[in-house]
Structures are given as structure tokens and as C-alpha cells.
């Protein structure tokens, strides 16, 4: 989940500060949650689901890899 959430955040061009503000929590709390040291509340999980347009299951329980499109021309 940690890699998935970080990859989703980066894919959407968001910083940890951006997401912490959207969730209404401190940057420190968000960093700990993204790193798996603290758990997200159900409300926070729903907000992330809405933000990334994915189900809670896809964000937190599926083993999904997201890659940035870095085509070099």
C-alpha cells in the first residue's frame, strides 16, 4: 500500500503537503500514514478514493503498480 499510495500521489502531481491539506491533517501525520506507521481513518480513505478515482480496495488492498509515463522522444 505504501508504494501504491506514493505512486498515485506522484502520478497526480501532488506533494505530501498537498494531500495532507486535502485530508485536513498535519503533514507529519500524513507522512506517517503514507509510510505505514499510522492507519488512515475510514473518512480519510474515502477522501483518497474520491481524489484518485479508485475504490478503497484498489488503493489499500490491491497490489497495483502505477508508472509515470516517461516516454523520451
Residue 22 lies in a domain: yes
Residue 70 lies in a domain: no
Report the number of distinct structural domains present in the chain.
1
Residue 16 lies in a domain: yes
Residue numbers of the domain that contains 30: 2-60
Residue 72 lies in a domain: no
Is 80 exceeded by the pLDDT of residue 12?
Answer: yes
Q: What is the pLDDT of residues 15-63, one digit of tens each?
A: 999 999 999 999 999 999 999 999 999 999 999 999 999 999 999 987 6
Instruction: Answer whether 8's CB lies under 8 Å from 54's CB.
Output: yes
What is the pTM assigned to this prediction?
A: 0.81
- Residue 45 phi/psi, 5-degree rounding, is -60, -40
Residue 73 lies in a domain: no
For every residue of the chain, DSSP letters joined together read -HHHHHHHHHHTT--HHHHHHHHTS-HHHHHHHHTTSSPPPHHHHHHHHHHHTS-HHHHHTS-----------
Instruction: Tell me what pLDDT residue 50 has.
Output: 98
Amino acid at each position: 500500500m505504501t508504494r501504491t499510495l506514493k505512486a498515485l500521489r506522484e502520478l497526480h502531481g501532488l506533494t505530501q503537503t498537498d494531500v495532507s491539506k486535502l485530508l485536513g491533517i498535519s503533514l507529519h501525520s500524513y507522512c506517517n500514514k503514507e509510510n505505514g506507521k499510522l492507519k488512515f481513518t475510514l473518512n480519510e480513505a474515502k477522501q483518497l478514493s474520491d481524489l484518485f478515482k479508485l475504490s478503497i480496495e484498489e488503493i489499500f488492498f490491491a497490489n497495483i503498480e502505477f508508472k509515470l509515463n516517461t516516454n523520451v522522444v
